[in-house]
A and B are shown apart, each in its own frame.
Chain A
Amino acid sequence: MTDFTRRHFLEALGAAGFGALAASATRAFGLDAVENPLARYPDRGWEAAYRDLWKYDSTFTFLCAPNDTHNCILDAYVRSGSILRIGPTMRYGEASDLYGTKSSSRWDPRVCQKGLALTRRFYGDRRVRHPMVRKGFKAWVEAGFPRGSDGRPPPEHFNRARDEWVRVTHEEAAKIVAAALVNIATTYSGEKGKELLLKQGYEPEMVEATKGAGTQVMKFRGGMPLLGITRVFGLYRIANAMALLDAKIRGVAPGEAIGGRGFDNYSWHTDLPPGHPMVTGQQTVEFDLDAVEHAKTVVVWGMNWIATKMPDSHWLTEARLKGTRVVVIAAEYSATSTKADDAVVVRPGTTPALALGLAAVVVKEKLYDADYVRRFTDLPLLVRADNLKMLKAEEVFGGGPAKLGNQTLVQRAGEAVPAPGFQRDMIVPEKLRNEWGDYVFWDERTQGPRAISRDEVGKRSPLEHARLEGAVEVTLRDGKKVMCRPVFDVVKEYLAHFDPKTTEEITWAPAASVEALARHIAKAPGTTLFAIGMGPNQFFNNDNKDRATFLLAALTGNVGRVGGNVGSYAGNYRTALFNGVPQYINENPFDLELDPAKPARPKQYWRAESAHYYNHEDHPLKMGKTMVTGKTHMPAPTKSMWFANANSILGNVKWHYNTVMNVLPKIEMIAVQEWWWSTSCEWADVVFAVDSWAELKHPDMCASVTNPFLTVFPATPHKRPFETRGDIECLSLVAKALAEKTGDRRFADLFKLVDEGRTDVYLQRVLDHSSLTRGYKFTDLHEKAKKGIPALMMNRTYPKAVGWEQVHESRPWYTKSGRLEFYRDEDEFIEAGENLPVHREPIDSTFYEPNVIVAPAHPFIRPKGPEAYGVAKDDLSCEVRQGRNVVKPWAEVKRTSHPLAKDGYRFVFHTPKYRHGAHTMPVDVDIIAILFGPFGDIHRHDKRMPNVTEGYVDINPDDAKELGIDDGDYVWIDSDPTDRPFRGYKPTEKEHRWARLICRARYYPGTPRGITRMWFNMYGATPGSYEGTQTRPDGLARNPRSGYQAMFRSGSHQSATRGWLKPTWMTDSLVRKALFGQEIGKGFLPDVHCPTGAPRESIVKISKAEPGGLEAKGLWRPAAEGLRPRYESKALETYLAGGFVQLGKKGA
């Protein structure tokens, strides 16, 4: 209605007063009179319409568990057979365990907007509705797998992401996958296979790593398998069963057979804080998030708690309400900063320096908790000045290593140990124990050295009089005299470099904040929780970060207490919560147990591998001619990939465009299990259509590292709306196809219990063999879950606090010394210049020389520099940069610049996660997408929009203005042209255009100058989606063949990232606990000691592409209306100043 007609209407109505109006309306429309609608309304029968909308026929529960750790059992409300809406069960407050431990209703509600929007996913247009095989791949299989002389298939069969798709049945898809697996394993087996791999250019060390077993080039990944103990972890069960195939192909006995390779998860996602095992000897320290109300202070550090831990955010705000001081340190003024008492804004990637700066204040002002330092850390132990190694008791006193008995069992070679879930003491192989020996400290009372064994920690520690500062001369048994210093003393000397002013220069945290925060934390030892997020962890210096933050925490007594601890929050990972999992994944395929009443007899045939080598152009790290990747880590060539629950391994892989352009062509089969057509599906050969959580017919279970719940995925009564099968059924189908293909019946038995509807047997076996769940009956848990009630994991403490036993029961840590170790004397660390906890500049996201070790001349920092590898000292190319150990003091570093700075690459570009997406569930469902930041528009007024929302970059307004970029404009973002978006990219090449990142720019006053941000959780452009933008009348970035929908016209946030390998992630010598149970070993361990990559690093150039206004003209409308930062109208200025109400002023 136009304003004219409106006015006309009002006049016609003769509006003169309420009585007159009521009367006139009645007259005009023949309605019942409404004298005063505040008081009475004549006919309210119509209200029934809303009551009808509310009605539903029935409800059922399902579990929503992306990798966000929350694991919410939800109620689905059903009408006429369809899920109408979703809600929380409100029954987390009824969880209990076998001991009577109980949770409270403060845990309710558990839900989020992404869970509520699942209705749009379950029935969405991109739902994978039936299995699909890529046309060219099908033809290759049907042609009998033709190959060239080097073994490679003809490229015309591998036109991935551009090819047509063919609908097949699940059985046909399974047969195709089985045939390809047999063919690939056969091709690359034996000497002939190794020869082909060498011909194809793989590193000899990688080829050797296969040991001639073709099964080793086949990679399997159950993504984030804690989120599906049977259906996701099942991929590893398949990998293990590949030993059957190897035995057949190579004709070897079961004892010599080798299974497939399984990719890592927690470390692949850069969720593993790699320095945690370096300090504690085990995977990660963390605490349940409800612990925060037991702390006096919480330091939320690089963690956007309220955006990524949404259902557990109230613990933070309620703790604050009740007096916990909240300190938020972030690379911007973040969402969580708004919940802080103290907010500190820092430069991204400088967390190690900030932690060192804080520790420096604590040490300099002698505020540290000396008792804690002496009892629980290696800081009092002596280290030799000559060879930088820890001084060993044997060198001084002779004799063998001390006998260990403190909750520790030394295992003789060949001696059997109980299964992981039944282990109580730490188990140390005798060989390792002898290697370690014992350590030495300097006793101030006797003024002499004293030996100390690994047992002597906590209450058993005799170090009350240990010297912490100053060098001492120690006479060795052979009469030699060596200078030694306590680790504390060596660290203290290094810390002095990080005085508050220098710390401010490096980190941008004002010196006053460094001093105030350090003093505050030190004032009440053991009462601060450090909640450290994914932000700092996604930088190359992440292990430096962990070692430095632990140092700060240990100095202030904050490791291992309910209200004083360190936590690393990224991903859900601790599969050891079910340490009986080997019962299922490692069940011996040669000796399967088909009796549901009996346990399995596990034997591991598969090998783990870090997917970061695949991401690093399928090769390990070399410096010059020297192999830097440790032997225990060595990858095998990747010739096939099969994964479930994992868009991150391909669709959202770091350096995505390089991976799909330069790595995928070497891979001969990619099989994906998905229920939503993801970027991974775009690049796959075979896509199995699987059940969503709402349709699972086989129950499953999972647990979490941030809450105490054991959650079951209930089997649901909901009818499958599409031609889908459960993930585990797909595994079973392929196994049966393998049985047919190979004639080995054991393949058919691999999932026999699944076929019989008894998946619960596998789950029960896991429960029975897990220390935290033994005693639970799966059927009971399942019945409760159907009512919306979870169980509690039987952790030692509620809330769970890793390190609790170490502090309260003097249980040694899983390290060589049994203490928190800050000094690493292994050769790899000494060569890297990282025997001390140091700060390295980020590898790409820095304005200075990348990856340089910031240190003054220090007698203990003597790394192996580039020249020692035969590499030019000033070679800063990305490959070389990774292994480059160059030391410079800050005064010198600050005068350096990033090698690309001169070419205009001057913006740090980081890609954190956000509230609107969860891990592999991006922000693409319409009703969530429209709320994703400023540019969502469900009607797409601007047809350039790739979707109803789109990716955008947040930039400081002053930076944007300098570049001539207005709020809402489209911009190009380019990173290092030598290898991004992919090696070989040519801007002039039409076929490459889909890979270059274009997006909107938003004026974002909360980000510092030079720092730009793009949210993660986005579907990137593919050749097909780019084609859609060019050919579709509506301009949507949607693949005309597959329906894939991108959130960028071209490129993505992964156009600017790349794969990175850091030498200290790849040692053969780091001592760490096994994944499951209490056994201690050393070297590579997936998800514990292996590469993590650095996906948040890139330095970029930003340039204007198009104006933001409609029709690519003028300003984007909200800016034009004067309602955006830096475009404020007069009214908005008054509003911002609160000028529309004048307090204290009297009215007329």
Chain B
Amino acid sequence: MALVRNWQIGRSMSYWYPESRPQRQFAAVFDVNKCIACQTCTLACKTTWTSGKGQEYMLFNNVETKPYGYYPLGWDVRVLEKLGPQPWDGGRYGGRTIFEAAEAGERTLGWRPAEIDYAHPNVGEDDCAGQPIVNGAYYQLPHLSWFFYLARICNHCTYPACLASCPRGSIYKRPEDGIVLVDQGRCRGYQECVRACPYKKVFFNPMTGTSEKCIACFPKIEQGLAPQCFLNCIGKIRCAGFVHVPEKADPENPIDYLVHVRKVALPLFPQLGLEPNVYYVPPLHAPEPFLEQMFGPGVHEALRTYRGAAQDPDLAGLIALFGSTERIIHRFKRRGETMYGYDDKGSEVVHVPMKEPVQVLTAFDARRGVAPANVP
């Protein structure tokens, strides 16, 4: 075991391997307030990577309804239950991570789902929690009855549990982008990773006898393009990029800006200790205790900042820029009413107006001989 630094929990922790951060870490921001659960991301991934035999139950990307939706069944409830209630005071997590809570002889605290746990990938869709609806209701924020959508891919963690657990050393992190991969040639299907990953984002393929997982569409990343689930995100909730550690945050980098500068995007279950690299803007309408459990103590500040976005053109403009190009945006800038995105070489890849401008044609165009009426 080694002692590693995990900034998300504000302390060091023990991990199977010594700390070694990649040159760049692939990361993402998902704005839950924009997610519409359309599952276009899920299908984009499925039709690209997992439409083969043995992959029927396999969704590298899925969208589930919180709190009653889970893929596989009960994944987060079960790992949290195993871990038990944990304390978190201020910036420093005082509880145990899944590495620290591992039973003797285990590298992580984990559990392995049964095949049937994957059977209903959208169980709980749109099921609401909170106050039961009897007849009418009138909710202002936060809503007393509530649910929200959680889009999930592999978190390409800084401290992956899958990687730590693999007895064969078949899982690695790419030094150039931090993407976590299961070597399909070397894997023998022991499924230690399936058991270890608390997010349950490694899947066993009974046809090939290997475990498979999200590859962050590295063939696209290598070309400067966003992964399929980002390109196809019509809710435009996603921003792909690279994240630094807080000390090296670059305010012009969209991910750093949202994660470190504005602190509006938070990791998923940071208390588990994996330093996951998909960051979520929490939903405005859900109860805060639930969000603290899911995103950590930063949730209050994040919500406050997001609520103020109407008076915050850089933040609002950046979030409205999400998904307007297939290229990865490495830097962004606002000039007046226009948002600009640039690639890693500093070339502009997209610009969009903060608001689509209203444009009015002439009442009658003598040249065309027609009146372009709105009631034709």
Contacts and interface: CB of A to CB of B under 8 A. Distances in A.
A294 interface: yes
Interface in A1079-1124: 1117-1118, 1121, 1123-1124
B87 A1145 contact: yes
16 contacts: A1-B189, A18-B17, A18-B18, A22-B169, A87-B44, A90-B231, A104-B356, A113-B38, A116-B47, A322-B355, A337-B139, A931-B121, A934-B124, A936-B122, A1121-B73, A1147-B89
A323 B311 CA distance: 8
Interface in B277-302: 283, 285, 287-294, 296-297
Nearest to A418: B369
B88 A1142 contact: yes
Interface in A251-275: none
A473 interface: no
B89 A1145 contact: yes
B42 A46 contact: no
B197 interface: no
Interface in B130-179: 132-141, 143, 145-149, 159, 163, 166-169, 171-175
A946 B356 CA distance: 47
Given A38-B20, A338-B147, A770 B122 contact: no
B12 to A, nearest CB: 14
Contacts of A928: 39, 43
A1138 B290 contact: yes
B253 interface: no
Nearest to A516: B138
A50 B121 contact: no
Given A110-B234, A310-B36, A931-B39, A41 B172 contact: yes
Contact of A774 (B129, B134, B368): B368
Contacts of A9: 167, 190
A775 interface: yes
A335 B126 contact: yes
A1147 B94 contact: yes
B363 A310 contact: no
Contact of A1144 (B34, B89, B120, B375): B89
Given A802-B374, A1008-B134, A290 B356 contact: yes
A117 B46 CA distance: 9
B375 A802 contact: yes
A111 interface: yes
A190 to B, nearest CB: 40
Contacts of A800: 374
B218 A1135 contact: no
B17 A105 contact: no
A1131 B324 contact: no
Given A105-B325, A310-B234, A1008-B136, A1140 B80 contact: yes
Given A113-B43, A335-B36, 10 more contacts: A46-B183, A87-B44, A98-B368, A105-B350, A112-B40, A318-B320, A342-B140, A422-B370, A510-B138, A1131-B80
A669 B39 CA distance: 41
A18 B326 contact: no
Contacts of B173: 37-39
B39 A294 contact: no
A597 interface: no
Chain A interface main SS type: loop
Residue of A54, A340, A931 contacting most chain B CB atoms (<10 Å): A931
A1135 B76 contact: yes
B92 to A, nearest CB: 8
B8 interface: no
A109 interface: yes
B136 A340 contact: no
Given A938-B57, A1118-B73, A1008 B148 contact: no
Contacts of A931: 39, 42, 121-122, 125
A192 interface: no
Given A15-B105, A1118-B123, A1123-B68, A323 B38 contact: no
A143 interface: no
Contacts of B189: 1
Residue of A420, A508, A775, A1143 contacting most chain B CB atoms (<10 Å): A1143
Nearest to B115: A939
A540 interface: no
Nearest to B281: A321
Contacts of B16: 18
Contacts of B83: 1140
Interface in B204-252: 215, 217-220, 228, 231-236
Interface in A273-324: 282, 290, 293-294, 306-307, 310-311, 313-314, 317-318, 320-323
Nearest to B38: A310
Nearest to B187: A46
A579 B374 contact: no
Nearest to A514: B138
Contacts of A178: none
A169 interface: no
